Amino acid sequence: MKGEFYWTVLGSGEHGLALATDGDVLRRLRENMEERGCQLVAMSMFSEPLDYNMKQTRQMFAECKNCTVTEFTEKLESGSDVSWRGQLDYFLYNTGEIEALDNKVKVKDAITKLRENYDLVLLDGKDDFSKEILRVTGWKSPDGEEIVAAGVNDMEIGGLRYSKQMVKQYNKFDAKNGDADFCDALNHIYYNDLAFLFNQS
């Protein structure tokens, strides 16, 4: 309707962008929206590596067919034959083929794409997601209540418990797939955290 102003939320999730193979997709989308008199706010939200890994474990366990808690735990703790895609690879390649690149190259590519194409980059635990959305869109929270995300970091998942060995394996996954370096870079660039500098060679 004439004069009506509204926002439409589009989420890519696991079925959307693959920025490593099509880096111009957001630029083209932004140009297309602006030609229609619309504004695009591109946002990406990441988690601290441990939080992400715990969520990933929860999802993998829920999707595991015909496997016992013991079997699942032993496989994950050993790290053998475990397909573990981190946030960095999801961001760059989504469901596509992951390129065997040096992690520093992947981190630099991801940060460049974030800075060139995204208006809002959030790190779960450092930002109040609901307040940021309300700030950007101008929406009003119903009854003044905050949007609260469901808790996913319970120590027990249907009989499966997070263990010290799992956390050690998470650290190995993060070092191998670049998530540790990526999260350090996000903290450094978007939150002025200097820890990233100590990891540079």
Tokens linked to 72: 């699942």
| Confidence grade of residue 111 (pLDDT, cut at 50, 70, 90) | very high
* Dist. CA 76–CA 50, nearest whole Å: 15
Residue 158 has a pLDDT of 61
* pTM assigned to the model: 0.74
Using the structure block, give the residue that is written with the tokens 């997601």: 129
The per-residue pLDDT for 12 is 65
DSSP state of 16: S
Res. 9: pLDDT tops 80? no
Strand pairing category for 120-123 and 43-46:
parallel
The pLDDT tens digits for 155-166 are 455 677 788 888
